[in-house]
């Protein structure tokens, strides 16, 4: 009986047929113009960087998807992996599939890196000075674009992720900077004399400037306090203003996170929205005229309709009536240019809250920008380590902001990741990011309208909203629609009432009244991001059409908790899964 083959046997056998190329030759010699460079490593391996111009196609998807990337079989192809074994096996498969000019990179990515040859990602993709990152480069940064998920009866299919309004995936350069920090620079900040602590402190300190730049802030009179998410940043703002006399005015379009923290601290009023979901500025002015208002708390962009209130007018109105302005930038941070402006400008923004997990960074870090003096005059948000300059038996002298509000060790790596993600967005250019969103949103809104049998919420003009489309397929529940999109189309959207119950109640009721039907319990939300393209929007439209035509193939069963008072605060308590017949 012959011995079973080992990995070494398989690789040796493949190498008998496959030609290798040395890293030096690939770098210096051959023209890369026509060549396709295939990176066959797993997604997580690419976090440390990739070769410039490489297409990421994990080994497991090679046979299935190679044609999408290498249309002609006589195209020169170089395959690489971590150390050169998997790429030899992959190249051998390509030869068998009829690709005639395939080579495998000897020693793989590891040898390339050891030789100090250029890589992108990992330590950070930075375009050359004066050049912006192109959309192909941007898309290549996201391992998630190669992710497949199971679909009913069809094995697996490439995922279309359209849940960016909930959280965004991090690009490999951001993950690279994050893991590099955790692996090689991890140390607590401020209190250390040792080298690593000083390095970590340096990295942490430079994040203030990067975040400030992203929102147009200066850090003399303004400052930035780090939090764990947007909700906590808003809560910190509510804490800062809690003892001031006056009311807080929120709006009917706010996420619960920009409503409940204010309610907890005192009386609030709400500015109305129109049936289209836009902020009624006349009503806001009425509230400001008729009450002593200390703060207007408004979103820069709704997580439901994407509606972007006119922040300049809101700020001017608020300041004219002696109120401060807090902007919830959870959605807007990664989607549109933001400028808080100088504190002397009548249209400036006083406080701004945001978080990394909706701006292409890992979970766990957020921030509040605000006036240094105001943030420094109130008691610490959480008194504790790092907040005081001197503690005696009976008292404590607290540091000014931001340290005053950083009780305990902050999420140092999270802050590094958040700053790196904002730098990534800046490298693309926020005007370009916005244009990309408008283009895809226009396609999505037009497509949904043209389908018919769809109820869309919010204004029809993509220029008036962030890249979010919320809709119902008439006569089909949001739950079922989202389930079919996921289980049959591999499309990730969100459904329910999006932690914005007041706004959703109003939008759903207004539409049902206009159309004369029942009020739906929720809606479906598709939200685009940096790595979506037209084909993603088209897949969404195709599967919404199937739902409209009642052409789903599975039998769907409700899973999860029954909606009850106990769970009423959550955004969605149920989901659906398909079962095969
Ligand atoms: C508009 C808006 N504000 C606030 C939040 C809360 O953000 P976080 O999860 O970062 O606390 C969200 C989250 O979806 C949001 O969309």
- In CATH, what number is assigned to the domain containing residue 111? 3.40.250.10
Which residues approach ligand 1 with their CB closer than 6 A? Answer: 229-231, 255, 257-258, 299, 303, 328, 330-331, 355, 366
pLDDT greater at residue 431 or residue 114? 431
Cα–ligand 1 centroid distance for 255 (angstroms) = 7
Residue 174 lies in a domain: no
Task: Mark which of 95, 119, 143 sits at the end of a domain.
Answer: 119
Write down the pLDDT at residue 124: 42
Torsion sign over Cα 540, 62, 115, 183: positive
- Highest mean pLDDT (candidates 11-25, 33-47, 356-370): 356-370
Residue 315 domain-assigned? Answer: no
Q: Rounded mean pLDDT of 451-471?
A: 97
Q: SS3 for 454? A: strand
Q: Which amino acid residue places its CA nearest to atom 16 of ligand 1?
A: 303
Query: How many angstroms separate the CA atoms of 277 and 294, rounded?
Result: 25
Return d(Cα 497, Cα 499) in angstroms, integer.
6
Model confidence at 562, pLDDT cuts 50, 70, 90, reads: very low
Contact yes or no for 350/221 (Cβ under 8 A): no
For residue 402, being part of any structural domain is answered with: no
74 near 101, Cβ under 8 Å? Answer: yes
What are the pLDDT digits (tens) for 298-348?
A: 999 999 999 999 999 999 999 999 999 999 999 999 999 999 999 999 999
Question: According to the model, what pLDDT value does residue 563 have?
Answer: 40
pLDDT digits (tens, 9 = 90+) for 183-212: 988 999 987 889 999 999 999 999 999 999
Which of 47-61, 329-343, 368-382, 498-512 is predicted with the least confidence, judged by mean pLDDT?
47-61
pLDDT at residue 565 above 60? no
Q: Give the pLDDT mean for 377-401.
A: 96
Contact criterion met (CB below 8 Å) for 465 and 332: no
List pLDDT tens digits, range 255-290: 999 999 999 999 999 999 999 999 999 999 999 999
pLDDT at position 572 is 54
> Is the per-residue pLDDT at 524 higher than 60?
yes
From 238, 256, 355, mutation site for ligand 1 pocket: most ligand atoms within 8 A of C-beta: 355
Residue 475's CB: how many other CB atoms inside 10 A?
12
pLDDT confidence of residue 130: 57
Question: What pLDDT is recorded for position 561?
Answer: 52
Lowest mean pLDDT among 464-468, 477-481, 556-560: 556-560
pLDDT band at 56 (very low <50, low <70, confident <90, very high): confident
Percent of the chain at pLDDT > 90 equals: 75
List beta partners, residue 485.
Answer: none
Going from the Cα of 232 to the center of ligand 1, the distance in angstroms, rounded, reads: 10
Contact 32, 53 (CB under 8 A): yes
Q: What CATH number should be reported for the domain holding residue 490?
A: 3.90.1150.10
pLDDT tens column, 110-165: 787 767 677 766 434 455 555 677 788 888 889 898 899 999 887 899 999 999 99
Q: Please say if the pLDDT value at position 222 is more than 90.
A: yes
Q: What is the mean pLDDT of residues 86-110?
A: 95
Q: Is the pLDDT of residue 87 over 90?
A: yes
- Where in the sequence is the domain holding 568, given as residue range(s)? 430-579
Phi, psi of 25 (to 5 degrees): -65, -40
More confident residue, 578 or 536: 536
Identify which of 41-45, 126-130, 173-177, 257-261 has the greatest average pLDDT.
Answer: 257-261
Per-residue pLDDT at 175 exceeds 70: yes
Q: Does some domain include residue 545?
A: yes
CA of 163 to the centre of ligand 1 (A): 13
Question: pLDDT category, 568, cuts 50, 70, 90?
Answer: very low
Looking at ligand 1, which atom is closest to the CA of residue 257? 4
Q: Are 35 and 77 in contact (CB under 8 A)?
A: yes
| Res. 521: pLDDT tops 50 | yes
**Pocket probe mutation, ligand 1, options 164, 257, 308, 360, max atoms within 8 Å of Cβ:** 257
- What percentage of the chain carries pLDDT values higher than 70? 92
- Answer yes or no: are the C-beta atoms of 51 and 40 closer than 8 Å: no
Atom 8 of ligand 1, residue of closest alpha carbon = 230
Is pLDDT of 221 > 90? yes
For residue 237, indicate whether it is catalytic: no
DSSP annotation of 23: H
Average pLDDT value for the chain = 91
What span, in angstroms and rounded, lies between the C-alpha atoms of 89 and 107?
A: 13
User: What's the pLDDT score for residue 579?
Assistant: 63
In a domain, 176, yes or no: no
d(CA 268, CA 498): 21
Q: Which of 338, 400, 412 is nearest to 375 (CA)?
A: 400
Last residue in a domain, options 78, 103, 119: 119
> Peptide bond before 402: cis, by omega within 30 degrees of 0?
yes
**226-257 residue pLDDT tens:** 999 999 999 999 999 999 999 999 999 999 99
Which atom in ligand 1 lies closest to the alpha carbon of residue 229? 10
Number of independent structural domains in the chain: 2
- Give the position, in ligand 1's atom list, of the atom nearest the Cα of 303: 16
Whether 238 maps to a domain, the answer reads: no
Which letter does DSSP use for residue 364 in this model?
S
Ligand 1 pocket, mutate which of 311, 329, 331, 351 (most atoms under 8 A from CB): 331
Last residue of a domain, one of 100, 119, 138: 119
| Span 433-455, pLDDT tens digits | 999 999 999 999 999 999 999 99
Q: How far does residue 544's CA lie from ligand 1's centre (Å)? A: 26
**Is 467 within the bounds of a domain?**
yes
pLDDT of residue 154: 78
Give residue 84's pLDDT. 94
Radius of gyration of the chain (CA): 26
Question: Is 198 inside any structural domain?
Answer: no
Reply yes or no on whether the pLDDT at 34 is more than 90: no
- Predicted pLDDT at 513: 87
Inform me whether the pLDDT recorded for 483 exceeds 80. Answer: yes
pLDDT score, position 68? 84
């Amino acid at each position: 009986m012959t011995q079973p083959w080992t990995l070494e046997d398989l690789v040796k056998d493949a190498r008998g047929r496959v030609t290798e190329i040395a890293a030096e030759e690939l770098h210096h010699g051959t023209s890369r113009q026509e060549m396709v460079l295939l990176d066959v490593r797993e997604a997580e391996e690419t976090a440390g960087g990739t070769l410039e111009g490489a297409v990421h196609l994990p080994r497991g998807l090679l046979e299935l998807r190679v044609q999408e990337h290498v249309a002609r079989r006589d195209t020169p192809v170089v395959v690489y992996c971590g150390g050169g074994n998997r790429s030899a096996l992959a190249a051998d498969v390509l030869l068998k599939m009829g690709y005639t000019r395939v080579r495998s990179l000897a020693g793989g990515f590891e040898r390339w890196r050891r030789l100090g040859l250029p890589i992108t990602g990992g330590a950070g993709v930075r375009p050359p000075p004066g050049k912006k990152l192109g959309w192909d480069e941007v898309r290549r940064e996201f391992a998630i674009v190669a992710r497949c998920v199971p679909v009913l009866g069809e094995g697996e299919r490439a995922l279309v992720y359209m849940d960016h309004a909930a959280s965004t995936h991090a690009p490999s350069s951001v993950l690279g900077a994050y893991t590099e920090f955790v692996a090689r620079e991890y140390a607590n900040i401020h209190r250390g004399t040792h080298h690593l602590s000083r390095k970590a402190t340096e990295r942490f300190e430079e994040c203030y400037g990067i975040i400030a730049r992203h929102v147009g802030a200066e850090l003399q009179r303004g400052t930035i306090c780090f939090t764990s998410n947007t909700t906590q940043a808003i809560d910190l703002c509510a804490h800062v203003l809690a003892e001031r006399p006056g009311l807080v005015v929120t709006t009917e379009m706010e996420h619960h996170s920009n409503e409940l923290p204010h309610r907890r601290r005192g009386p609030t009023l709400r500015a109305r929205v129109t049936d289209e979901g836009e902020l009624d500025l006349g009503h806001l002015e009425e509230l400001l005229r008729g009450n002593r208002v200390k703060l207007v708390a408004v979103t820069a962009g709704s997580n439901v309709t994407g509606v972007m209130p006119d922040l300049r007018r809101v700020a001017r109105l608020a300041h004219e009536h002696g109120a401060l302005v807090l902007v919830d930038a959870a959605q807007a941070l990664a989607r549109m240019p933001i400028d808080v402006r100088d504190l002397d400008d009548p249209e400036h923004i006083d406080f701004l809250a945001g978080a990394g997990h909706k701006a292409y960074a890992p979970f766990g870090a957020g921030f509040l920008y605000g006036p240094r003096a105001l943030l420094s005059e109130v008691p610490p948000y959480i008194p504790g380590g790092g907040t005081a300059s001197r503690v005696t038996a009976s008292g404590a002298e607290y540091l000014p902001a931001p340290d005053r509000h950083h009780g305990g060790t902050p999420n140092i790596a999270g802050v590094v990741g958040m700053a790196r993600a904002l730098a990534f967005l800046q490298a693309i250019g926020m005007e370009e990011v916005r244009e990309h969103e408008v283009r895809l949103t226009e396609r999505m809104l037009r497509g949904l309208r043209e389908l018919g049998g769809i109820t869309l919420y919010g204004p029809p003009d993509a220029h008036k909203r962030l890249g979010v489309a919320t809709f119902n397929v008439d006569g089909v529940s949001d739950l079922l629609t989202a389930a079919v999109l996921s289980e049959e189309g591999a499309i990730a959207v969100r459904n329910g009432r999006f932690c914005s119950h007041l706004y959703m109640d109003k939008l759903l009721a207004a539409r049902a009244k206009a159309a004369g039907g029942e009020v739906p319990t929720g809606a479906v939300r598709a939200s685009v991001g940096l790595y979506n393209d037209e084909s993603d929007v088209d897949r969404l439209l195709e599967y919404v059409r199937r739902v409209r035509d009642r052409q789903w193939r599975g039998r769907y069963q409700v899973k999860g908790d029954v909606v009850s008072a106990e769970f009423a605060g959550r955004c969605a308590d149920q989901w659906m899964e398909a079962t095969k017949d």
